[in-house]
Amino acid sequence: MDSMSQQWRLVKQVIRRADVVFEVLDARDPMATRTKKVEAYVKKLGKPLILVINKSDLIPRSVAEKWKKVLSREYPTIYIGARDRLGTRQLWKAVKMAARGKKPVTVAIVGLPNVGKSMIINVLKGRSSAGTSPIPGFTTEAQTVRAATWLKVIDTPGIVPRLSSEELVFRSALRPESLEDPLIPAIKLIEKLASKDPEVFQRTYGIKSREPLKILEELARRRGLLLKGGEPNVEEAARILIRDWQKGKLVVYFTPEDYGLT
């Protein structure tokens, strides 16, 4: 059994144990970070599912409201910024509403790697209780935390979909360190982000060029990443850029209109 199959098997076990399931999404692109396989399984079991749009501190509130409106047509949806504890009261309200008076309650936290699942557990606990890391896939097994006398929360491994490395990089679901050749995924990421926000690299790095390879070359020079002979180390610059996207330092956001949704 490969690692993806093992992850999915564990996630299914946790979902079966849970009374309520929180699917955590990245506010910069909630639609791309949904896991329809999880949603279908939760629906099959007849369990309440709540979509939690995390990292909403990275986008305008008006855009978060639009996503909430659109996604609420399918499932109850809230948006929060777990890193800065923004809107976290909504988490408790959502748990209590979905539980419908049932106590004790077990909540499963599911989603792609690096969407901030462990941060949400920390918020519910009220202090640092689950390991957090900017490296996707940090949580490798189910971790149970008692957030209150009546509430248990179970974190799960990040679900890595079977997609190309370019798509996984965009979804922050693949560690840049794991890429043998990060150049092509980085170039594809630059192209996708620049198509939505052409000024993002100037705003983030002070780089005016809009050509992907030149952006990486300039980033390498600015960081002192030079090979023998003074050539820029574009591969290491590619990893830095991918990491910055995953950590939220490189911010481009997508709206429901980008998906033809209103």
**What does the pLDDT look like over 163-191, one tens digit per residue?**
899 999 999 888 899 899 999 999 999 99
The pLDDT score that the predictor gives to residue 72 is: 97
Q: What are the structure tokens assigned to 9, written together?
A: 């098997």
Q: What is the pLDDT of residues 201-260, one digit of tens each?
A: 999 999 999 999 999 999 999 999 999 899 999 999 999 999 999 999 999 999 999 999
Domains and CATH numbers, the chain: 3-155 (3.40.50.300), 165-259 (1.10.1580.10)
